[in-house]
Structure 1
Amino acid sequence: MSDQQPSNEESKSTRRDFVKKASIGTAALGLSPLVFPSLSAADGAGKKKLKVGVVGLGGRGAGAVRDILTADPDTILWAVGDIFDDRMKKVSGIEKKFSGRVDTGGGKRHFVGFDAYQKVIDSGVDIILLTTTPVFRPLHFKAAVDAGKHVFIEKPFALDIPGLKSVMDSAKKAQSNGQSVLTGLVWRYSSALMEMHKRIQGGEIGDVLSTSSSYCGGGRPNKMPDIKFKPASMSDMEWSLRYWQNFVELGGDGTLEYMIHGIDRMSWAMGDTLPARCFANGGNIIPVEAANAWDQFTLRYEYADGRVADFFGRQIPGTYAASGDVITGSKGHAIAKGQNVSLVRDGKTIWKSSGGLGYVNEHKIFTEHIRKGKVYNDVIDKFDITHAICIMGRTAGYTGALLTDKQIMSSKDVFVESKGLNFDTPFTARKSPIPGKTKFI
């Protein structure tokens, strides 16, 4: 994309293209979850039992298992893998909730270690849930796709641009092979938000001109204790993996680990297109000793047609947890605040609704595609763009530079080489970046 500002007529045309592009995807999903994206695939699974394997049984992993078992009554948990042995205790809780739907061979298909992902893949499963520490996601995803599996990949699925390009390649291969892929950006599967965006794309507030979004929490998730509490026998790598949210190398920092939900909603409103430019600010109000992830970001995105989108995110205890969107159109605006959504024209609310996160709904869509022999893939031209936008904003904040779309997609920075990584691998966190001094790589 060029840095040159377009003419007014070009801007109007580009905005119409944005709306048209978005309506093909999210609006179609709102009408029928089996319409887009889909193509002819192998015979569907029908009513057969679908064997599910999970890699990473932390909080999100156990949650994803519950979600897919709830969404499809003919799924069973077949295999479990994690790098931490203590996570296997969660299987008994899943067994109690879903009686008769856990069959891991009496524990024979409980795999522990850095190669557990491959053992789960090779165990005879139909669907893989990838929910371990995000740094492993491109490696695990490629292995699952290469093995011909349908895959759920929890967000974030890439922490740097080389990792994102790997995921994009694997997603394209999955689509061409007839394998479905689902990503864990659950606000896209909220029934209320799906209906709101269908109405926006139908023109109820005119052309979308700008979006202001926020995603704030009351504190860092899984905040790392003081480093003095690290057991002497525990390696630096094991300690860091247990508190991965605190390290950009393992979790991607706040824009990817947490704020991605709000940034994704912003991208949805703006037509799922990579902005032409971004500048940003961020830092630590309450730093964590020996960690390097920031607790706040303020991002400004400029699109090729002259539109702008702003995002504000923070994770600071005791602060107002503002999360939502204001989408301004040429004829009105849309407001999403928490679970409540509305459309406003001429100062009057013309439509409103409410609805929670789409944890179960997304898995219904996913498994329905598999059973009907259709391919579902929400990575290509949708959530790959969201991840690029998150990385772009984080990097703009770190460097203090005005970054273009071409610049960010040319980044060669690889945070951690996950292949061959183990608890004995040396790990030292990067120094926290200094805007204006940290260089773009």
Structure 2
Amino acid sequence: MSDQDTSKILSEITRRDFTKKASVGAAAVGMAPLLFPNVGAAEGGAKKKFKVGVVGLGGRGSGAVKDILRADPDTILWAAGDIFEDRMKRIGSFEKQFSGRVDTDGGKRHFVGFDAYQKVIDSGVDIVLLTSTPAFRPLHFEAAVAAGKHVFLEKPIALDIPGLKSVVESAKKAQSNGLSVLTGLVWRYSPHLMELHKRIQDGEIGDVLTASSAYSGGGRPNKMPDIKYKPASMSDMEWAQRYWQSYLELGGDGILEFMIHGIDRMSWAMGDGIPVKCYANGANIHPVKGANSWDSFSLRYEYADGRIADFLGRQIPGTYSPSGDTIVGTKGQALAKGHNMSIVRDGKTVWQKGGGLGYVNEHKILTKHIRKGEVYNDVLDKMANSHVVGIMGRTAAYTGKLITGKQIMSSKDLLIETKGMTFDTPFTARPAAMPGKTKFV
């Protein structure tokens, strides 16, 4: 696929396009299902025991295993892989919690190493959960699709434009081959927020004029110690993999590792298009020695029809940590504050609802589509675009320059090469970005 073809997939849409999309009845689940013969339909999908493999048994990998086992009683954990052997111990907790639903052949389908992903894919699984260090996502996704597997693709799905174009190409191949793909942008599958956006798309606040979103936390996840404490026997790459959230090259910075949820919500409200312009600010206010990821971002986007959207994100201990959206329309406002949703018109709340995150619901949607012989794919035109928006904002903040949609899609900056990587692969983190000095690549 050419860059031009991929750019068409990651295309800008106007407000008219958004209104047209909103009339489609499948808005509540992301996209209209496509009908293809697939593994679920071809082999008695309604009752088939789906064999699940997981690549990456960190926090989200362990969570995703539990979520899919809760979502569909006819799933079993068949294989697991990670670059760290100690994480295999977590499988014992699955066996205790989900009796009779873990069958890894006495541990023979526990795979350790940088090639573990391929061994999981080749083990006979039906569905693969790709939840390892995010830098590996394009490589692992390409391999899973090539092997004919349905995929749960944890966020972030790519960290740079070259990687994102690879993911989009793989997603197109998956769709053509009757394979379902669902990403881990969990708010999209949280029922109360799904209902809010369905109401927005049905016109309850009129035409959307602007959105202001925030996604903040009280500190960095898995905070890295001062690098001086790295054991002499540990390679630089192993240390970086242990603390990947601190490194741009492996986690994409906080804007993609964490704040992508809020950026995706903002993008959803604005119609899932790519902005034409972005300028931004950000900083490493409480830097971690040896790391290069920032802890705060403030972004402003302009769309082709002149609408503006704003985003604030930070991960600084002891600070006010707002998360939510204010979506302003011609007839009212939609408010998403934490887990509470409401619609306000003429100063009066006309609808409100609360709820939890859709960690289990997203896996219900994935497995139900597979069992019905329907293809689900939320990468194309939706979550891929949200990642463009995130990368665009990060680049604008890093450089201190005005970045256009066309410009960001031309980026050739591959943050790191993961093919053939081992713990012996040399790793030196880039210097932390300095606005006004860091250049666009």
Task: Quickly name the TM-score band, shorter chain normalised.
Answer: over 0.9
Is 1:287 matched up with 2:287?
Answer: yes
Shift of 1:40: 2.7
Contact 2:31 2:376 in 1 (8 A): no
Moved more, 40-49 or 398-407: 40-49
Is 1:141 matched up with 2:137?
Answer: no
What is the alpha-carbon distance in structure 1 between the residues aligned to residue 212 and residue 113 of structure 2?
Answer: 43
What is the alpha-carbon distance in structure 2 between the residues aligned to residue 247 and residue 23 of structure 1?
Answer: 41
- Given residue 142 of structure 1, which amino acid in structure 2 is its aligned partner? E
What per-residue deviation string (whole Å, max 9, x for no partner) do you get for residues 38-62 of structure 1? Answer: 2333335221100000000001000
The match for 1:382 is 382
The match for 1:339 is 339
Contact 1:22 1:272 in 2 (8 A): no
Contact 1:55 1:81 in 2 (8 A): yes
Contact 1:256 1:387 in 2 (8 A): yes
What per-residue deviation string (whole Å, max 9, x for no partner) do you get for residues 325-359 of structure 1? Answer: 00000010000001100000000011000111110
Contact 2:30 2:378 in 1 (8 A): no
The match for 2:176 is 176
TM-score (norm 1): 0.95
- Given residue 403 of structure 1, which amino acid in structure 2 is its aligned partner? I
- Given residue 212 of structure 1, which amino acid in structure 2 is its aligned partner? S
Contact 1:22 1:268 in 2 (8 A): no
Is 1:197 matched up with 2:193?
Answer: no
Shift of 1:76: 0.1
Secondary structure of 2:279's partner? Answer: strand
The match for 1:256 is 256
What is the alpha-carbon distance in structure 2 between the residues aligned to residue 402 and residue 157 of structure 1?
Answer: 25
Deviation beyond 3 Å, 4+ runs, structure 1: none
Is 1:223 matched up with 2:219?
Answer: no
Shift of 1:404: 0.6
The match for 2:118 is 118
The match for 1:5 is none
Contact 1:281 1:400 in 2 (8 A): yes
Shift of 1:34: 9.8
The match for 1:425 is 425
Secondary structure of 2:291's partner? Answer: coil
The match for 2:212 is 212
- Given residue 26 of structure 2, which amino acid in structure 1 is its aligned partner? A
The match for 1:128 is 128
- Given residue 28 of structure 1, which amino acid in structure 2 is its aligned partner? A
The match for 1:57 is 57
The match for 1:100 is 100
Contact 2:22 2:202 in 1 (8 A): no
Contact 1:340 1:353 in 2 (8 A): yes
Is 1:81 matched up with 2:81?
Answer: yes
Distance 1:34 1:389, change over 3 A: closer
- Given residue 91 of structure 2, which amino acid in structure 1 is its aligned partner? V
What per-residue deviation string (whole Å, max 9, x for no partner) do you get for residues 113-144 of structure 1? Answer: 00000000010000000000000000000000
The match for 2:246 is 246
- Given residue 133 of structure 1, which amino acid in structure 2 is its aligned partner? T
- Given residue 207 of structure 1, which amino acid in structure 2 is its aligned partner? D
Secondary structure of 2:163's partner? Answer: helix
Is 1:438 matched up with 2:438?
Answer: yes
The match for 1:359 is 359
- Given residue 352 of structure 1, which amino acid in structure 2 is its aligned partner? Q
What is the alpha-carbon distance in structure 1 between the residues aligned to residue 104 and residue 36 of structure 2?
Answer: 32
What is the alpha-carbon distance in structure 1 between the residues aligned to residue 31 and residue 264 of structure 2?
Answer: 21
Shift of 1:29: 4.2
Secondary structure of 2:288's partner? Answer: coil
What is the alpha-carbon distance in structure 2 between the residues aligned to residue 23 and residue 100 of structure 1?
Answer: 44
- Given residue 430 of structure 1, which amino acid in structure 2 is its aligned partner? R
What is the alpha-carbon distance in structure 2 between the residues aligned to residue 23 and residue 222 of structure 1?
Answer: 42
Shift of 1:20: 2.2
Match of 1:37 among 18, 28, 33: 33
Q: How many residues align?
A: 425
Is 1:301 matched up with 2:301?
Answer: yes
Contact 2:31 2:377 in 1 (8 A): no
Contact 2:342 2:352 in 1 (8 A): yes
The match for 2:408 is 408
What is the alpha-carbon distance in structure 1 between the residues aligned to residue 21 and residue 430 of structure 2?
Answer: 39
Contact 1:23 1:198 in 2 (8 A): no
Secondary structure of 1:129's partner? Answer: strand
Is 1:91 matched up with 2:91?
Answer: yes
The match for 1:28 is 26
What is the alpha-carbon distance in structure 2 between the residues aligned to residue 252 and residue 424 of structure 1?
Answer: 22
What is the alpha-carbon distance in structure 2 between the residues aligned to residue 58 and residue 373 of structure 1?
Answer: 31
- Given residue 283 of structure 1, which amino acid in structure 2 is its aligned partner? A
- Given residue 211 of structure 1, which amino acid in structure 2 is its aligned partner? A
TM-score (norm 2): 0.95
The match for 1:4 is none
What 5-or-longer segments of structure 1 have no aligned partner?
1-12
What is the alpha-carbon distance in structure 2 between the residues aligned to residue 332 and residue 130 of structure 1?
Answer: 40
What is the alpha-carbon distance in structure 2 between the residues aligned to residue 142 and residue 396 of structure 1?
Answer: 29
Secondary structure of 1:306's partner? Answer: coil
RMSD across aligned positions (CA)? 1.2
Distance 1:171 1:274, change over 3 A: same
The match for 2:68 is 68
Distance 1:131 1:282, change over 3 A: same
What is the alpha-carbon distance in structure 1 between the residues aligned to residue 325 and residue 97 of structure 2?
Answer: 36
What is the alpha-carbon distance in structure 2 between the residues aligned to residue 415 and residue 34 of structure 1?
Answer: 30
Contact 2:31 2:378 in 1 (8 A): no
Q: Percent identity?
A: 74
- Given residue 362 of structure 2, which amino acid in structure 1 is its aligned partner? E
What per-residue deviation string (whole Å, max 9, x for no partner) do you get for residues 198-220 of structure 1? Answer: 11111111000000000000000
- Given residue 310 of structure 1, which amino acid in structure 2 is its aligned partner? D
What is the alpha-carbon distance in structure 2 between the residues aligned to residue 195 and residue 19 of structure 1?
Answer: 17
Contact 1:71 1:360 in 2 (8 A): yes
Contact 1:34 1:369 in 2 (8 A): no
What is the alpha-carbon distance in structure 2 between the residues aligned to residue 81 and residue 361 of structure 1?
Answer: 24
- Given residue 419 of structure 1, which amino acid in structure 2 is its aligned partner? K
Moved more, 274-283 or 13-22: 13-22
What per-residue deviation string (whole Å, max 9, x for no partner) do you get for residues 212-238 of structure 1? Answer: 000000000011001121111000000
What is the alpha-carbon distance in structure 1 between the residues aligned to residue 253 and residue 31 of structure 2?
Answer: 34
What is the alpha-carbon distance in structure 1 between the residues aligned to residue 303 and residue 318 of structure 2?
Answer: 34
